[in-house]
Amino acid sequence: MRNKIPYVNNFLFDNSIDVLSLAETKILDISLPCIVGYNLYRSDRSNKGGGVAIYVKACLNSKLCPMILEQDDCVENLSVTVQLSQFISIIVTNLYRPKFTLNNDDIKTIEIIVEYYLLLLFMGAISPS
């Protein structure tokens, strides 16, 4: 991820992106570069590789949501509340399931997330086995 930051930076500004969700960030240290004008939220995997991140334009009020799922080697997730107006906010959730196919437990996990939040933008990557 670190070597792709200039590309991500250009993509965000060239396309006026408000929210960008990334998987496989593969960052284990605390020096993930911030991008000027964006707030960074991240959840790193405790071992090699993996990790998810969400960049939110700084002019938007945003905050990290409490984890409703345990982080493990099977499912990585991160949720951020983004305030759209005085009365409307949306939850942006990034779910990543590396190297495994979806099973019934994964479907239940997704259902928990969807039921927990009222307004939800759900993004993720499910890698084929």
Other C-beta atoms lying within 10 Å of the C-beta of residue 17: 14
Q: What is the reported pTM? A: 0.77
pLDDT of residue 61: 95
Structure confidence by residue, pLDDT tens digits, 67-79: 666 665 567 788 8
pLDDT of residue 65: 86
Q: How far is CA 61 from the centre of its chain?
A: 16
Q: Give me the tens of pLDDT residue by residue for the chain, a chain 129 residues long.
A: 566 778 888 888 889 889 988 887 776 555 566 788 999 998 877 666 678 889 999 999 999 987 666 665 567 788 899 998 888 888 888 877 766 666 777 677 777 777 766 666 656 655 444
Tokens 């994964």 belong to 106
User: How many angstroms separate the CA atoms of 122 and 112, rounded?
Assistant: 12
Domain span at residue 51 reads 2-126
pLDDT of residue 120: 60
User: How many angstroms separate the CA atoms of 83 and 62, rounded?
Assistant: 6
CATH (domain of 35): 3.60.10.10
Say which amino acid occupies 81: T
Residue-wise DSSP of the chain? -GGGHHHHHHHHHHTT-SEEEEE-----SS-PPP-TTEEEEEE--SSSS--EEEEEETTS-EEEPPPSS---SS-EEEEEEEE-SSS-EEEEEEEEETTS---HHHHHHHHHHHHH-SSEEEEEEE---
Could you tell me if 38 and 18 are in contact, meaning their C-beta atoms sit under 8 angstroms apart?
Answer: no
Tally of domains within the chain: 1
pLDDT of residue 34: 79
